[in-house]
Amino acid sequence: MTRVFSGIKPTGHLTLGNYLGAMRRWVDVDQHRSDALFCVVDLHALTVDHDPARVRRLSRQAATLLLAAGLDPQLCTVFVQSHVDEHARLSYVLECVATDGEMRRMIQYKEKAAQERERGGSVRLSLLTYPVLMAADILAYSADEVPVGDDQTQHVELTRDLALRFNQRYGHTFVVPKATTPQVAARVMNLQEPASKMGKSEDSGSGIVYLLDEPDVVRKKVMRAVTDSGQEVVYDREGRPGIANLLEILAACTGGNPEALSGVYESYGSLKKDTAEAVVEILKPVQARHKELCADPGYVEGVLRDGAEKARAMARPTVDTAYRAIGLLEPV
Ligand code: TYM
C-alpha cells in the first residue's frame, strides 16, 4: 500500500491556504487510499523567534483542527513530531549527507532568513537545517508520497536527493518519495497582496482567511480583497493575480475549474460575493466539529498518544537501519 506522510507547522493559526492546498486532500483522498501519517511538526516551529506557550497552544489547536477537518484516527495516524524521537535522531544522520550549499539555496530559507534580519533578529542555525529535519520526517516512515502545496516542493526534491545519495553511499535504506500537489489552489495567495502566498506566519491578518474566522470576518476579508484594474473577470495568473486568486479559491471550494468559472461572472463584485459564501460554507462543518472537539480535550490527547506510539513503531526500524548503514555501532 502507498505510504503517505505530510506535516503542518504550528507557527500561526491555520489558514484557507493550508486547507485548500493540503489538508482537504489529506481528508478526502489520502487517508482513504493509503497508509497515511499526518504530523504537527512542532520542532520546526522553533526555527524562528517563538513564544513557548504560544507554540504549545498552536500545536494543540493544529491537531484539533486536523481532526475537525475530518482526519479519522481509524484510517490514518495523527501525531506530534516531538513525541517521536526518531525525527531528531534521523535528522542528525542526514545532516552528515547534506551540504551547507544545498541548504543555502532553499527559497524558504532565503526568504525567512531575510525576514529575520529585517526585524533585526539573528538567524537560528535550525532555520538553515530545517529542510534536513523535514527530510527526516518523510524518510523515517518510508513515505512514497508527500501531499503538499506548491511552496514545499523544493524541500521534497531535496529529500529525494538526500535519500538517493544516502542509498548510493551506504546501501539501500530509504524509499525515494515524491511530492503531490493539488490541481487547483496549490498556492493560495494573500488577499491583500496577491503576489505573496497566504501564509499563517505573516503578521497582518486582513489578507489571510483563518480556518476559525467567523463567517462575517471571512465575508469582509474576501469582499475587501485587492483586485486588479479592469472590469473583466478573466483567469490570468500573471496579468490579473487578484482575480485569478479568487477564481482559484472559488473553484477549489466548489469543485470547479477557474477558467470555466471566469466566463460566468460579469463583475468583480458578484465573483467576490460567491467566493465569500463558498468559503463560509466550506469552513462551517470544520468550525462546528472544532467546537465539539475543544469540549473534549481528552479525546484529542488520546488520539495523539496512540498516534505517537504507532508512528514510533513505524519509524524505529528505518532509523536503526540508517544508523547501522552509516557506520554507527549497535548499542550493547
Ligand atoms: P506549512 O505548515 O507551512 O503548511 C502546511 C501545508 O499547507 C500548504 N500551504 C499552502 N498551500 C496552498 N496555498 C497556500 N497559501 C499554502 N500555505 C501552506 C503547504 O504547502 C503544506 O503542504 N515545511 C512544512 C511542514 C513540514 C512537512 C514535513 C510537510 C515539515 N515536515 C514533511 C510535509 C512533509 C511547512 O512549513 O508547511
* 239-292: pLDDT as tens digits: 999 999 999 999 999 999 999 999 899 999 999 999 999 999 999 999 999 999
Contacts 24+ apart (CB under 8 A), 237-243: 241/189, 241/194, 241/195, 242/191, 242/194, 243/268, 243/271
Give the Å distance between the CA of 197 and the centre of ligand 1.
Answer: 11
User: What is the C-alpha separation between 155 and 180, in angstroms, rounded?
Assistant: 12
pLDDT-derived band at 34 (thresholds 50, 70, 90) equals very high
| Region for residue 193 given its phi and psi (left: phi exceeds 0; alpha: psi -120 to 50; beta: otherwise) | beta
Domain residue spans of the chain: 3-181+297-326, 215-291
Q: Is 200 annotated as a binding residue?
A: yes
Question: Which of 68, 91, 1, 88 lies closest to 37 in space, CA to CA?
Answer: 1
Residue 272 appears among annotated catalytic residues: no
Answer whether 73 contacts ligand 1 (Cβ < 6 A): no
Its pTM stands at 0.97
Ligand 1 probe mutation, 111, 151, 175, 237, most atoms within 8 A of CB: 151
* 165-211: pLDDT as tens digits: 999 999 999 999 999 999 999 999 999 999 999 998 766 689 999 99
Looking at 1.10.287.130, 2.60.120.260, 3.40.50.620, 3.90.78.10, the CATH number of the domain 3-181+297-326 comes to 3.40.50.620
Question: Which of 1, 11, 319, 22 lies closest to 186 in space, CA to CA?
Answer: 22
Residue 112 appears among annotated catalytic residues: yes
Which protein residue has the closest C-alpha to ligand 1 atom 37?
Answer: 8
What one-character DSSP code corresponds to residue 277?
A: H
Q: Which three cell numbers stand for residue 65?
A: 483542527
Query: Half-sphere exposure (CA, 13 Å, Cβ side) for 127?
Result: 20
Looking at 3.40.50.1100, 1.10.240.10, 3.40.190.10, 3.40.30.10, the CATH number of the domain 215-291 comes to 1.10.240.10
Q: Are 3-181+297-326 and 215-291 equal in CATH topology? A: no
* 54-100: pLDDT as tens digits: 999 999 999 999 999 999 999 999 999 999 999 999 999 999 999 99
Question: Average of pLDDT values for 216-235?
Answer: 93
Q: Which atom of ligand 1 lies nearest, measured to the CA of 149?
A: 20
Q: Is 72 annotated as a binding residue?
A: no
> Which position among 112, 220, 273, 310 bears the catalytic label?
112
Question: Average of pLDDT values for 111-122?
Answer: 92
Give the Å distance between the CA of 225 and the centre of ligand 1.
Answer: 23
